[in-house]
Amino acid sequence: GAVVSQHPSRVICKSGTSVKIECRSLDFQATTMFWYRQFPKKSLMLMATSNEGSKATYEQGVEKDKFLINHASLTLSTLTVTSAHPEDSSFYICSARATDRAAEAFFGQGTRLTVV
């Protein structure tokens, strides 16, 4: 299957700082990428849909100024958690869908963010 690479896999940061998470589709082009957040023992919650070359669409309750998403190319989307707080600590997972294989959504390995 197609490969989605997410970086970093783990990050610890201090409260008030910003953290950038990258999501890359390695062997396919993805016009649409999705960012999810997973709480312990919970399902994945969609945060936003990222479309290449346009503004991301955020789900209700997700602060767009706090979770900045940039989808600058067909293979890269970034999520920046700005002014991080301990409650932002979570597992963030990105997903990408190939333009020519729209039925299949592939996921990155996730990023464990811990804000201290």
CB nearer to another protein: pick between 37 and 81: 37
When asked if residue 70 is in the footprint of another protein (CB under 8 A), the reply is: no
Least gap, CB of 104 to another protein (angstroms):
6
In whole angstroms, what is the distance from residue 102 CA to residue 62 CA? 26
- Identify the CA nearest to 116 among candidates 13, 7, 9, 6: 13
The CA distance from 100 to 92, in Å, is: 26
Among 13, 44, 62, 68, binds another protein (CB under 8 A): 44
- Judged by CB under 8 A, does residue 74 bind another protein? no
Which residue from 6, 75, 77, 78 is in contact with another protein, where contact means CB under 8 A? 6
